[in-house]
Structure 1
Amino acid sequence: MALPASVVDVCDRIADASDDAALVAAVGSARRVVVEARRDGIPATRLAASWSAIARTAIASATQFGVPAGGSDITWFVSGSTARDEALPGSDVESLLAIDDHTDPATAMAHAASVHAILDRCRLRGDDKGAIGSRARFCRTYTQWSEGIKAWTTAPHADRGVVMAGLLADSRAVTDGDDVLALRLGDNIRKHDRALPVMLSDALAVRAPTSWRLRIFAGGDDVMDLKAAAIEPVVQIARWAALSCGSTALRTVDRLTDASGTKFLDADDAKVLRECYTIATRIRWHHRAPAWLDKQPFREELTLSDLPPHDRALLRGVGREINGIRRKLAYLASTSSFG
């Protein structure tokens, strides 16, 4: 997806920042990109691709500042929505560090903490669940990452294997280096038949109540977390399907396209999931945009009664379709159709 000229201009300013203060100012100028996107009705998925590029450029630039300075012995990776081109303004940043065998891990983690402190000033906050390179779990030598990948794919129930596999499947290098972690994860996970069924089971698990009936109450019963209810399920199904069919795509819609028509995902189901993802992303962005632009805190929860009737109807359809595909995949998994 080609980036708008205004986004390219902001990325160039960020990349040319001479120090952390200049970087903060350059990232701040990205606000106009968001304002223009909202004014001109730019699709939320295109805004997400633009914002993800801005965030990755800022992370790469921030690694050049602080103590110690970034070097060729530390490779920075991002994961999650920022890596998948699906981050919206205000999204968390998940980071992973790969170091060579001669680099002191404590030094690398101190560097990561310094970088994330700069990013916090840019309003690019670190992952609230702690998936950041300043923690030992996410700062490893290449040898240690390879050993971890082997362990997580052969015993996915242990050591949060499914979570780590998901992070690595989405990983993307932002400093010099190839996407070696994602490639190694893909190679290993297809060699071990234990990991993919567990990833599918995790993708089909319902973790949050979703008031898909959309009844309007006077109290708080019509509050829902749109990310947990409609974004994450599609992202996880797409990741599992892509890994299963050998796709190396990162964007959710591309993963669904690559898996479409395979034994893992019916073509019609893939199309429906793409549409559901696009609808949910648009509604989610319109819900959070005003707060982000006003530098106010925002939550993922939205009140259904505050939505226009059209959006409530769309969400009703999204919920019905996602839950139906979940049930279908669960049934197919129970019949060993994906073996």
Structure 2
Amino acid sequence: MAPSRDPRDERARAWSDGVRGELAVRLGPEVAPAVWVTGSVGRGEAVPGSDLESVAVVDDPDGRVVRRAVASTDLSPAPWFAETSAASAADPRLVRTRAGWSSAADDWAGDPARDLGVVHLGLLADARPLTDDHGDPELLPRLAVHAVRAHPGVLADILADALSTRASVPSRLTRTLRSDPVVDLKASVLTPVVKLARWAALRVGVTATATESRLELAADPRVLPADRWESLRAAARVTARLRWEVRLRAGSHDPDGPGTDRIPLSVLTTAERAGLRSAAREIAGAQRTLDYLRSSGELREPG
């Protein structure tokens, strides 16, 4: 797959920044500096309807003011349609001091089977400050990197999670097929490459949050050849672009909703289906290679 840049590829970043800005305004100057967005908004990869995930870094361990402010802020109506995730700074477990986050990250990396360690490290790795003038915008991703460096064994768990769902798209429509196959653009194609990129970044100490940046900065030719890393970047780009196209088309028919990631293949053009299948094949191929390297003990440590 040859990479191609397109102005449409910047839509997710712009939308994510819009969500960040709106949340900052609503929380106000007393609370906003403590709050970080994570997940797709933190990675700059959100679409209308994406979950809004957040954590907070506070000076006061109680954090009650921040929790109440986040809990009372609702971005689910139009135009954002951003449903507050269970991973929210309204939860006291996700509001900590800097030292508290450092200790928690170390605990999650040291014992990932306890307290959803892989998931929580992912939240830190994807986190981005709500405000652009933050003095240390890489704080939380850096804490995740340091924790993984101190407990490198957790990388096996992070990779296992990235390989747990193979990227796939249903076979093409045929006249003999009674039902219209449905594909989940996020779960079946995008999430696998997002997780692979996060694993690659944590493996080599990259603190970038965007999937494409991670795949570029963390590309290790001893793990995958350079052209495979480039193909993964192109696959992530193609899938994210298609996800936006689908949302825009859904919005033109239903202004009261942002559409969904689960779509019948029949709503895609022939070229879109071909591009999506090609992206899924590239991601699944990388997953198979990494699975083989992992099982054979040939996955080299970064050096």
Instruction: Look up the SS of the partner of 2:51 in the other structure.
Output: coil
Amino acid corresponding to residue 110 of structure 1 in structure 2: R
Give 2:148's aligned residue: 189
Give 2:97's aligned residue: 141
In 2: Cα distance, 1:255 partner to 1:234 partner: 11
Give 1:110's aligned residue: 68
CA drift of 1:183 comes to 1.1
Matched, 1:98 2:57: yes
Instruction: Look up the SS of the partner of 1:190 in the other structure.
Output: helix
What CA RMSD, in Å, does the superposition of the two structures yield over aligned residues? 2.3
Give 1:325's aligned residue: 286
Alignment of 1:1-40 (within 5 A): none
CA 1:125–1:113 in structure 2 vs 1: closer, same or farther (change >3 Å)? farther
CA deviations on 1:177-211 (whole Å, 9 max, x unpaired) are: 42312111111111212211110110011178x44
Give 2:300's aligned residue: 338
In 2: Cα distance, 1:190 partner to 1:282 partner: 34
Q: Is the 8 A contact 2:198 2:214 kept in 1?
A: yes
Instruction: Look up the SS of the partner of 1:263 in the other structure.
Output: coil
Alignment of 1:123-142 (within 5 A): 123-125=79-81, 127=83, 129-142=85-98
Q: Is the 8 A contact 1:204 1:330 kept in 2?
A: yes
CA drift of 1:125 comes to 4.9
CA drift of 1:121 comes to 4.5
Give 2:231's aligned residue: 272
CA drift of 1:306 comes to 2.1
Matched, 1:170 2:126: yes
Amino acid corresponding to residue 50 of structure 1 in structure 2: A
In 2: Cα distance, 1:128 partner to 1:75 partner: 17
Give 1:218's aligned residue: 178
Give 1:57's aligned residue: 21
CA 1:232–1:71 in structure 2 vs 1: closer, same or farther (change >3 Å)? closer
Matched residues, number: 289
Amino acid corresponding to residue 198 of structure 1 in structure 2: D
CA deviations on 1:76-132 (whole Å, 9 max, x unpaired) are: 1010121112112332211111212x3533332112112x22x33464455554111
Matched, 1:284 2:253: no
In 2: Cα distance, 1:219 partner to 1:327 partner: 29
Identify unmatched segments of 5+ residues in structure 2. Answer: none
In 2: Cα distance, 1:263 partner to 1:89 partner: 38
Give 2:10's aligned residue: 46
CA drift of 1:214 comes to 2.5
Q: Is the 8 A contact 1:90 1:292 kept in 2?
A: no
In 1: Cα distance, 2:17 partner to 2:85 partner: 22
In 1: Cα distance, 2:83 partner to 2:290 partner: 30
CA 1:129–1:76 in structure 2 vs 1: closer, same or farther (change >3 Å)? closer
Instruction: Look up the SS of the partner of 2:57 in the other structure.
Output: strand
Give the structure, 1 or 2, with the largest relative contact order (CA under 8 Å, sep 6 or more): 2
Task: Compute the TM-score of the two structures, normalised by the length of structure 2.
Answer: 0.87
Instruction: Look up the SS of the partner of 2:55 in the other structure.
Output: strand
In 2: Cα distance, 1:70 partner to 1:290 partner: 39
- Determine what percentage of the aligned residue pairs are the same residue: 35
In 2: Cα distance, 1:317 partner to 1:71 partner: 44
Amino acid corresponding to residue 213 of structure 1 in structure 2: S
Give 1:23's aligned residue: none
Q: Is the 8 A contact 1:70 1:111 kept in 2?
A: no
Q: Is the 8 A contact 2:12 2:47 kept in 1?
A: yes
Matched, 1:229 2:229: no
Amino acid corresponding to residue 78 of structure 1 in structure 2: V
CA drift of 1:212 comes to 3.5
CA deviations on 1:235-277 (whole Å, 9 max, x unpaired) are: 1101111111121211111111112244344311111111111
Identify unmatched segments of 5+ residues in structure 1. Answer: 1-40
Amino acid corresponding to residue 30 of structure 2 in structure 1: G
Matched, 1:302 2:260: no
Give 2:30's aligned residue: 70
Give 1:159's aligned residue: 115
Amino acid corresponding to residue 222 of structure 2 in structure 1: K
Q: Is the 8 A contact 1:292 1:298 kept in 2?
A: yes
